[in-house]
Homo-oligomer: A and B are copies of this chain.
Amino acid sequence: MDLGASTWTDAAAAETELAVLPVGSTEQHGPHDPLATDALLAEAVAEAGAAAYDGEVVVAPTLPYGISEEHRAFAGSLWLSPDTFRAAVGELVESLAAHGWRRVVVVNGHGGNTAALREAGRDLTVPGERYVTSFTWFDAVDTSAIDDEAVKMGHAGPVETAALLATHPELVREDRLEEGAAGAADGWGEWLSGVNLAYGVDEFSENGTVGDPTAATAEVGEALLAEATDALVELLDAVATRELD
């Protein structure tokens, strides 16, 4: 059920305890992918997962903002502080639970949100009463065919660009993919002793891209998203059947 498009009487008729809350970010994705990339892909995976799941799932409106300050050198990137992001997610989950939707998966499209969501998930779970977890779609897929270990997912790289080509091709500036590839095609800048020394993404990528997006195709994107959708369905099933009082 697409909650935003539903009326409250529709919502009242939902016989489920299961809800997903998509969260993304508004942040630079190179010269070729739109600022809304993370929100669009989280929403796409959330909707696909809910549709494929064998049972009813409430899909809340997408929160289009996240923890993106490390992109502040690039115009248009907007951000919430980690504290406010956790508070917002927490209050939304609590209001979902107030309606009986007490099994919640936050479906995330932004790597910078992941740690904060894990912290929030613990805070919001009440053993025996409520279960909350988060799912970052690209952490659940095998991307080794399209990027390499140093790039891992990248940023506006081959994985996200392919996924966008599958879902929102009109928003990808294909004529700027070469330009995008001139960013940090080889990875996330300098790591030392398990630590990434950069403060901002601009320290290692002049145009904000990490990874080479030129190889991205809609077909690859569809396959990646299908894999993510399957993974979400599996997770929804585990969350739906977890024992609560």
Interface of A with B (CB < 8 Å)?
A: 3-12, 14, 26, 28-36, 39, 58, 60-65, 69-70, 72, 74-84, 87-88, 91-92, 95-96, 98-99, 115-116, 118-119, 122, 125, 127, 131, 133-136, 139-140, 171, 173, 176, 192-195, 197, 199-200, 207-208, 231-232, 234-235, 238, 242
> B140 and A11: CB pair below 8 A?
no
Main secondary structure of the interface of A (DSSP, over half): mixed
**Taking A9-B31, A119-B82 as contacts, is the C-beta distance between A195 and B133 under 8 angstroms?**
yes
A60 to chain B, nearest CB (A): 6
A34 / chain B contacts, CB cutoff of 8 Å: 4-7
Q: Which 7 A-B residue pairings sit nearest by Cβ, starting from the closest? A: A11-B76, A4-B36, A8-B28, A115-B115, A193-B231, A12-B75, A139-B194
Given contacts A79-B92, A135-B195, A140-B194, 5 further A-B contacts (CB under 8 A): A5-B36, A8-B31, A14-B75, A60-B78, A88-B88
